[in-house]
């Protein structure tokens, strides 16, 4: 088998121009596929940033909520009702809203404000400066140091500005694992301060964060909350709910899917056409191999090996090029949200194997039909 594969490799790389064209076409196709799906994965991850950063196992919300940023206020009795359910260890309120911050130079900047439960501060971010207890001080806020941090003029401990005409003092600087999606700086404060300082409708409760006594209690809690007329989702369920919204109810999923399919068709057309040309130009060599006793099974092995080798080489180079671009872009563009996941790589690999199979099939059909007599007669 090794001599046969060695022969296949030499036949493939002899014509360096055709071999390079195959590799470049496949590399470009894989690069586009991984890039598109990685951008989509990064956007979805940032869209669920609040859920991931908070760490609550169960979220209670209005049934009309589509994303974590699109909170719909609930009456306060929902919090008390959830706390009274069997299987609930504790439940705390969470405020999520938007406000306008007026900086020292008079510029207004939109900010996202998260209000934590006054008693437990459940969901508080990890601090890199300041003390979490200072959040209870007058007008205390925590700012998140993320790509949007500079939009607030890089505040330090003790920096003051106005939020909706109320004084705000930075008492802590936090660093979150995942930044938000919409390019807005994030501030944390207590729940009571958030509902006092920010304009709100009649109801102010955005979410109820629930800690069940055990995972086995979750189905009963979900059913009880549903009976109240509200929705309870686990953290993973909420993330899936957000993902489904962006995939099926916005144009984002359709656009990414179309670009991925176009990338796949580009790679398929380039690979198929170039590989077919390669087979045609080497048809005499395959006919000579058949004349000296090579069986059709051995010729098929040669074709499939060549197709698989070029496809996997292009796959590796395409993934490497995409990873390099993502790394450079994140250094130069902090807001860049592309994230390469295992699922992205598996999807791209599956498409590359389809390209390899189609290219191999085109070559096999041509080679198995060649007759040595026709070759030598020509």
| Residue 170, pLDDT score | 93
| 26 within domain boundaries | yes
| 81 within domain boundaries | yes
Whether 269 and 357 share a structural domain: yes
**Domain count of the fold of the chain:** 2
Task: Give the whole-angstrom CA distance, residue 274 versus residue 240.
Answer: 41
202 three-class SS: coil
| Residue 305, pLDDT score | 83
| 70 within domain boundaries | no
Q: Which residue has the tokens 């959830």?
A: 82
Residue 113's CB: how many other CB atoms inside 10 A? 24
Whether 26 and 79 share a structural domain: no
Whether 141 and 210 share a structural domain: yes
Whether 178 and 317 share a structural domain: no
Whether 158 and 82 share a structural domain: yes
Q: Please enumerate in sequence order all residues whose Cβ is within 8 A of that of 301, keeping only pairs 6 or more positions apart, or say none.
A: 1, 4, 5, 8
Positions of the chain with pLDDT under 70: 1, 267, 271, 287, 294, 369-378
Kindly tell me the sign of the dihedral angle through the C-alpha atoms of 338, 342, 345, 346: negative
Each residue's pLDDT tens digit, 181-234: 777 899 999 999 998 888 777 888 999 999 999 999 999 999 999 999 999 999
| 69 within domain boundaries | no
Whether 27 and 107 share a structural domain: no
Q: Please enumerate in sequence order all residues whose Cβ is within 8 A of that of 22, keeping only pairs 6 or more positions apart, or say none.
A: 270, 271, 274, 275, 278, 310, 314
Strand 160-163 versus strand 108-116 pairing type:
unpaired
| 55 within domain boundaries | no
Whether 212 and 285 share a structural domain: no
| Residue 92, pLDDT score | 95
Whether 222 and 256 share a structural domain: no
Q: Which residue spans within the chain are E strands per DSSP?
A: 58-61, 88-102, 108-116, 127-130, 140-144, 160-163, 166-174, 186-190, 207-212, 231-234
| 64 within domain boundaries | no
Each residue's pLDDT tens digit, 257-289: 787 778 777 767 776 777 777 777 777 777 677
Task: Give the whole-angstrom CA distance, residue 44 versus residue 119.
Answer: 32
| 350 within domain boundaries | yes
Cα distances from 294 to residues 139, 276, 332, in angstroms, run 84, 21, 56
Q: Which residue has the tokens 């589509």?
A: 66
| 167 within domain boundaries | yes
Whether 191 and 275 share a structural domain: no
| Residue 204, pLDDT score | 86
Residue 265 belongs to domain spanning: 2-46+251-377
Domain C-terminal end among 172, 198, 229 = 229
Instruction: Count CA atoms within 13 Å of residue 201 on its CB side.
Output: 12
Task: Give the whole-angstrom CA distance, residue 31 versus residue 314.
Answer: 9
Whether 88 and 21 share a structural domain: no
| Residue 210, pLDDT score | 94
Task: Give the whole-angstrom CA distance, residue 7 versus residue 276.
Answer: 19
R_g of the chain, CA atoms, integer Å: 29
Whether 223 and 257 share a structural domain: no
Whether 209 and 281 share a structural domain: no
């Amino acid at each position: 088998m090794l001599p046969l594969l060695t022969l296949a490799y030499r036949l493939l790389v002899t014509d360096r121009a055709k071999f390079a064209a195959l590799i470049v076409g496949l590399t470009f196709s894989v690069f586009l596929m991984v890039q598109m799906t990685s951008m989509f994965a990064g956007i979805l991850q940032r869209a669920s940033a609040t859920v991931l950063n908070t760490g609550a196992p169960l979220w209670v919300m209005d049934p009309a909520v589509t994303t974590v940023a699109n909170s719909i206020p609930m009456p306060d009795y929902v919090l008390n009702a959830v706390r009274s359910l069997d299987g609930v260890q504790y439940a705390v309120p969470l405020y999520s809203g938007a406000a306008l911050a007026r900086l020292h130079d008079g510029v207004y900047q939109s900010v996202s404000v998260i209000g934590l439960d006054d008693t437990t501060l459940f969901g508080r971010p990890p601090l890199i400066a300041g003390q979490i207890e200072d959040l209870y001080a007058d007008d205390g806020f925590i700012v998140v140091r993320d790509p949007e941090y500079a939009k607030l003029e890089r505040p330090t401990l003790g920096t003051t500005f106005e939020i909706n005409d109320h004084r705000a003092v930075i008492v802590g600087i936090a660093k979150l694992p995942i930044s938000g999606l919409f390019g807005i700086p994030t501030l944390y404060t207590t729940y009571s301060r958030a509902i006092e300082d920010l304009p709100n409708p009649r109801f102010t409760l955005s979410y109820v964060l629930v800690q069940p006594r055990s995972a086995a209690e979750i189905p009963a809690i979900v059913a009880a909350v549903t009976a109240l007329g509200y929705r309870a989702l686990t953290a993973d369920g909420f993330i899936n709910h957000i993902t489904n919204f962006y995939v099926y109810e916005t144009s984002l999923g359709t656009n990414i899917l179309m670009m991925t399919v176009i990338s796949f068709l580009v790679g398929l057309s380039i690979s198929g056409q170039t590989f077919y040309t390669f087979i045609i130009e080497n048809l005499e060599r395959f006919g000579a191999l058949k004349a000296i006793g090579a069986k059709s099974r051995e010729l098929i092995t040669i074709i499939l090996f060549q197709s698989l080798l070029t496809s996997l080489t292009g796959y590796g180079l395409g993934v490497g090029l995409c990873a390099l671009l993502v790394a450079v872009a994140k250094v130069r563009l902090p807001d860049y949200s592309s994230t390469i996941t295992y699922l992205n790589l598996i999807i791209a690999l599956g498409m590359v194997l389809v390209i390899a199979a189609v290219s191999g099939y085109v070559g096999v059909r041509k080679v198995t039909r060649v007759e040595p007599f026709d070759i030598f007669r020509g």
